[in-house]
Structure 1
Amino acid sequence: MYHIAPTALPVNLRQLTAKLLHQNAGASIYLVGGAVRDILLKRSTKDFDLVATGIAGPKLERWLKRHGQVVLVGKTFGVYKFIPQHWSLEEIDIALPRLDHSLKSGRYRDVKITTSSKLKIEDDLIRRDFTINALALNLDNFELIDVVGSQNDLTKKLIRTVGSPRLRFREDFSRLLRGLRFALQLNFKFESKTWSATKSLATKAVTAKLNNSWLIPREIIAREFLKSLTAQPMDAVKLWDKAGLIARLLPEVNAMKGVPQAKIWHSEGDVFKHSVMALNAFTSNQWQKFFPRQLPKLSVLLGILLHDIGKPLTLQTPTTHKVKHIATPEHDTKGAQLVPKIIARLKLTSYVAPDGDKIDADMVEWLVAKHLLLVHGQVANFKPSTLYKYFYQKADWGLALQQVIFADSWATRPADGHRLFDRLLALRKRLKNLQPLLSNKGDLKLLLNGNEVMKLLKLKPGPEVGKILKILTEAQLTKQITTKAEAKKLLQRLL
């Protein structure tokens, strides 16, 4: 028998379950699923799922209500969402053991549930998706229960379904996507039969409908894809591509395959290879120098993946267009036009990460549209107001743009081996020179606001006011004016 030290669990959780067992003779309670897996892998976890046997549902519900807040949103599936008193972590799922009777449609959660306090924990475990999630820890004696070889697969770092992969996936096709995500989060490989079933069923899983509804809701696809992208950005795209899912879900990204680039700038390969490579930029030493202790947010990752999706639409070659080098004019603007459709189609804004991060559709579109900002113009020639507009007016957007530009530059490998960080270094120097004129938050407080401008110049609201404010911003950032009086004199000269 294998046991886990009680100290692997939070003290208040151990106290709570000990009290439940003491006050309910004949009951047993188990920690199940991902939390057990993570304890064995020495990964931190805040998500605790419990299964209670030997205690009837109504009695369990009454006990839980006396010891915390019970949310019954999961009651249909025999699950109580429980927030114990003095509990600061995520809500706990407490369930009765259950059997799932799949209706064989493959639709997400299209199952008939049988719950019973008389079922054994082993019955509950064999219905689960993957062996690595089919573990239970008895919270009375802390004995580990493994009925499907879970520990062996954890040791070998394998993703394997419980039972037949095809049957398990056909019960709920979203399990395919969970498997991909687990492989990336845990850095595991697929067991051969599980991978074979994943590849053969993936296309159907994400494209099939029943009664005009997707078998896998787009929100579930968004969640699993973005979780995968967060775990290992570059490898996520590669793995989802090997499963055939990039072609089906992101045809705009798939279209970058085979699109050539001028080798003088892009010795790394075609547009797809460049874009996927760019997702790995944050692992470089150079990233740490530019963005110490920072990881890219979801919108940045998506912006990096999509930054060149306009290239297939704008490709010009020496053979077909009589140009000197391969070119893709206006691929930034053409690509940006595709972004809202992609985000809406896959409902990518529906997912909210545990830290609150989520896709900002407007930001991603802007990042793709502006990723060539330092290519289109010389940094030395940028007006201070231009720098302020792009990098300080919305500081989080400005930082995101720098990160996308960095990733694009990092994945651009000129034939001469020279790395293209010069423009970004020049930008950083210019931005540093602006900082003394700004607040700690990066804001520029104008010496005169819009209302004051309209009053002084007797103007009505309109574009003219905006133009004048832009002139004031430029003058203030270049230190031509430093006081309200000087700002008023400048306005008088504009009359």
Structure 2
Amino acid sequence: MNFEVWPEAVELGRLFAAQGYELALVGGPVRDMLLHRTSHDLDFCTSARPEQFEPILRRWGRDGFWDMGRKFGTLGAMRRRDDGTEVQVEVTTYRSDVYDPDSRKPEVNYGDSLEGDLSRRDFTVNAMALRVPELEFVDPFGGANDLAKGVLRTPVDPRQSFDDDPLRMMRAVRFVAQLGFRIEPATAEAISDMVERIGIVSAERVRDELTKLLLSDRPRAGVEALVESGLADIVFPEIPALQLEIDEHHRHKDVFEHTMIVLDRAVALETGPDGPVPAPDLTLRLAAIMHDIGKPKTRRFEPGGKVSFHHHDAVGAKLTRKRLRALHFDHHIVDDVSELVNLHLRFHGYVDEPWTDSAVRRYVKDAGHLYERLNRLTRADATTQNRRKAMVFSSAMDEMEQRVRDLKEKEDFEAIRPDVDGNEIMELLGIEPGPMVGRAYRHMLEYRLDHGPVDHDVAVAELMRWYGSLED
């Protein structure tokens, strides 16, 4: 088997061999090497203990060294190449972990062989190694064969593997999304039978796996695998809840299938690195899978056989906030995704009757920094099979976006403020700080949105008119 191996890996292998220690490249870098994918982060395991190989790693890593993983037998280092790219390496002593059944944190025991270390890894495609500097390929569990077939299988009995570390079940569905692989039947069955074990895994670790899944090239495949496995029932129950029973007259779409289509379409609408929504965009992708999660709670069968989902946008926004907080997402993500869900139906009124300039300003003002994402979510959500309706909707969105561009040439949407500020309001009205100042400010903001920028004298006259009307 021919390999194009990182020269840094060979050099490090020679340094370890000179001291009588074994060193092997392991895990993802070996898998990616066989898939002809690039990697700048290299993982190694070694027969040496951390205190033995620390001097070697410090000498090699002239541009950086870290030891946060020392208690797990792991040290890291970094080197910059002449072209400015960085190569980061982490080296771990051979491991033979023992897991507490009530925790996913292993008790670290050092092992004495490479094969033993590989046996404790999550999947066979990650249980391959390349000894350096001799470049001997080590594959005791048939990982290369599984890689060629696109199969995810555990090196040991899957029930033992997932019992030892339940997070591996989440990693399985994540690899479906990242690598396009399928989960081998016995492994899939074990996941389905053991989904409750995911409950001992911290919300942060689950969130990190979900994030990697959604930012992959195939997020839809990952979400579908998450639901099919039963894991979503535990970690993200709002998603499988979208699999509503379709009424006998098919008066509404399969909401889960619709959501998967919206996810695909939203991904396709992301832009290049210089565009307004660079791919991959976690906020947009989360909003796509959550935009309709309010539907199960709001579904009503109306007279005449129609089905309604009134206020599913507002209900969905609340459910979104609750779920993302439970998964410990950053508060900016929580706020932004919840607001996109809340606003995702906002544009639909424009199709029936084009808005005034005032309504366009309000749409842009309310969307704020989410404007570009909201438009993409709205476009992605228009999944009608009726070509005429689809063309009308797309044309209306094109028209609205052009009107926004035209208005922005005349005024600064990013800085829409009343034409009189709070201090001037107090001075003109002769009032002290308090609720009335806030009421006056809000009125003048509404006036600004309705009329656009006006002369200062006109704004002052409107303020005085409004205040006088309160006294009458």
Partner of 2:243: 257
CA distance in 2, matches of 1:125, 1:196: 23
Partner of 2:444: 468
Unaligned runs of 5+ in 2: 465-472
Q: Does 1:5 align with 2:1?
A: no
CA distance in 2, matches of 1:56, 1:316: 64
Q: Deviations for 1:201-247, whole angstroms, at most 9, x for unmatched residues? A: 22x2224xxxxxxx211211111122222222322221111101223
CA distance in 2, matches of 1:377, 1:454: 38
Residue of structure 1 aligned with 2:125, choices 121, 132, 155: 132
> Do the aligned residues in 2 keep the contact of 1:259 with 1:272 (CA within 8 Å)?
no
**TM-score, normalised on structure 1?**
0.81
> Do the aligned residues in 2 keep the contact of 1:454 with 1:465 (CA within 8 Å)?
no
CA distance in 1, matches of 2:277, 2:369: 16
Give, in angstroms, the shift of residue 465 of structure 1: 1.7
Partner of 1:354: none
Q: Deviations for 1:408-435, whole angstroms, at most 9, x for unmatched residues? A: 11x3334977454243223212212123
> Do the aligned residues in 2 keep the contact of 1:173 with 1:216 (CA within 8 Å)?
yes
SS at 2:108 equivalent: strand
Partner of 1:340: 321
Give, in angstroms, the shift of residue 249 of structure 1: 2.9
CA distance in 2, matches of 1:56, 1:27: 10
Residue of structure 1 aligned with 2:384, choices 395, 403, 412: 412
What residue identity is the alignment partner of 2:137?
Answer: L
Residue of structure 1 aligned with 2:73, choices 75, 78, 81: 78
Q: Deviations for 1:94-118, whole angstroms, at most 9, x for unmatched residues? A: 1111212234x16322x232225xx
The equivalences for 1:214-253 within 5 A come to 215-231=200-216, 232-253=218-239
CA distance in 2, matches of 1:493, 1:414: 47
> Do the aligned residues in 2 keep the contact of 1:339 with 1:365 (CA within 8 Å)?
yes
Partner of 1:487: 456
> Do the aligned residues in 1 keep the contact of 2:267 with 2:279 (CA within 8 Å)?
no
Moved over 6 A (4+): 261-265, 286-289
The equivalences for 1:237-316 within 5 A come to 237-260=223-246, 269-282=253-266, 294-295=278-279, 297-316=281-300
Q: Deviations for 1:23-67, whole angstroms, at most 9, x for unmatched residues? A: x431232211101111110122232111233x4431312333344
Number of residue pairs aligned between Structure 1 and Structure 2: 452
| Cα distance change on mapping 1:197 and 1:387 into 2, 3 Å | same
Segment drifting more, 430-439 vs 373-382: 373-382
Give, in angstroms, the shift of residue 79 of structure 1: 0.8
SS at 2:239 equivalent: helix
| Cα distance change on mapping 1:190 and 1:288 into 2, 3 Å | same
CA distance in 1, matches of 2:386, 2:429: 53
| Cα distance change on mapping 1:188 and 1:148 into 2, 3 Å | same
| Cα distance change on mapping 1:323 and 1:306 into 2, 3 Å | farther
Partner of 2:467: none
SS at 1:141 equivalent: coil
CA distance in 2, matches of 1:89, 1:262: 59
| Cα distance change on mapping 1:46 and 1:292 into 2, 3 Å | same
Partner of 1:151: 144
> Do the aligned residues in 2 keep the contact of 1:37 with 1:132 (CA within 8 Å)?
yes
What residue identity is the alignment partner of 1:205?
Answer: R
What residue identity is the alignment partner of 1:31?
Answer: L
| Cα distance change on mapping 1:106 and 1:3 into 2, 3 Å | farther
Q: Deviations for 1:428-459, whole angstroms, at most 9, x for unmatched residues? A: 122121231356x9555876554455545555
- Which structure has the higher relative contact order (CA within 8 Å, separation 6+)? 1
Unaligned runs of 5+ in 1: 208-214, 351-357
> Do the aligned residues in 2 keep the contact of 1:247 with 1:254 (CA within 8 Å)?
yes
| Cα distance change on mapping 1:272 and 1:470 into 2, 3 Å | same
CA distance in 2, matches of 1:333, 1:175: 35
SS at 1:99 equivalent: coil
Q: Deviations for 1:466-492, whole angstroms, at most 9, x for unmatched residues? A: 321342354445xxx3xxxx2234323
| Cα distance change on mapping 1:463 and 1:379 into 2, 3 Å | farther
Q: Does 1:96 align with 2:93?
A: yes
Partner of 1:435: 408
Partner of 2:470: none
> Do the aligned residues in 2 keep the contact of 1:106 with 1:171 (CA within 8 Å)?
no
SS at 2:25 equivalent: strand
The equivalences for 1:39-58 within 5 A come to 39-53=33-47, 55-58=48-51
> Do the aligned residues in 2 keep the contact of 1:257 with 1:270 (CA within 8 Å)?
yes
What residue identity is the alignment partner of 2:321?
Answer: P
Give, in angstroms, the shift of residue 122 of structure 1: 2.3
**TM-score, normalised on structure 2?**
0.84
> Do the aligned residues in 2 keep the contact of 1:33 with 1:136 (CA within 8 Å)?
yes
What residue identity is the alignment partner of 1:195?
Answer: A
SS at 1:362 equivalent: helix
| Cα distance change on mapping 1:33 and 1:359 into 2, 3 Å | farther
Give, in angstroms, the shift of residue 339 of structure 1: 1.7
Residue of structure 2 aligned with 1:36, choices 30, 36, 52: 30
CA distance in 1, matches of 2:227, 2:313: 24
> Do the aligned residues in 1 keep the contact of 2:10 with 2:132 (CA within 8 Å)?
no
Partner of 1:192: 185
Partner of 2:175: 182
What residue identity is the alignment partner of 1:226?
Answer: T
SS at 1:163 equivalent: coil
SS at 1:400 equivalent: helix
Partner of 2:398: 425
| Cα distance change on mapping 1:455 and 1:293 into 2, 3 Å | closer
CA distance in 2, matches of 1:405, 1:262: 28
Residue of structure 2 aligned with 1:205, choices 186, 189, 197: 197
CA distance in 2, matches of 1:298, 1:393: 21
SS at 1:462 equivalent: helix
Indicate the percent of aligned positions where both proteins have the same amino acid: 25
RMSD: 3.3
CA distance in 2, matches of 1:417, 1:464: 43
CA distance in 1, matches of 2:182, 2:119: 21
